[in-house]
């Protein structure tokens, strides 16, 4: 089975307190769904059109499990805590 990767790119954070509260709940929800956080933070170096924006990379056993984690009640409850505290994008991609 091909692994799935959940990649989050933060364009801006307008409410650090909301982000902190989100993180307290999102991490356990993601881990309970089988997610493993591989990397998190601001890039050490960017190239080409890259911007130094916070990135989170999470590995799952499959794309389906990554999607299920995002759509789970536990993660959605955490997501509601973030509200409009950050502008970001999430991509779920299939591993090779």
Q: What is the pLDDT of residues 7-66, one digit of tens each?
A: 999 999 999 999 999 999 999 999 999 999 999 999 999 999 989 999 999 999 999 999
Alpha-helix runs per DSSP H in 1-96: 16-32, 63-71, 73-82
Beta-strand relationship, 86-94 and 36-41: unpaired
The pTM for the full model equals 0.92
* pLDDT recorded at residue 1: 81
> What would the CATH number be for the domain defined by 4-94?
3.30.70.100
The residue extents of the domains of the chain are 4-94
Sheet bearing 55-60, strands edge to edge: 36-41, 55-60, 4-13, 86-94
Q: Residue 70: what are its φ and ψ, rounded to 5°?
A: -60, -40
């Amino acid at each position: 089975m091909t692994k799935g990767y959940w990649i989050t790119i933060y364009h801006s954070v307008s409410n650090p307190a909301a982000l902190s509260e989100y993180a307290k709940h999102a991490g356990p929800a993601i881990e309970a769904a089988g997610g493993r956080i591989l990397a998190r933070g601001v890039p050490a170096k960017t190239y080409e059109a890259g911007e130094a924006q916070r990135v989170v990379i999470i590995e799952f056993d499959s794309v389906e499990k990554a999607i299920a984690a995002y759509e789970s009640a536990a993660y959605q409850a955490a997501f509601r805590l973030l509200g409009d505290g950050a502008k970001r994008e999430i991509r779920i991609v299939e591993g090779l």
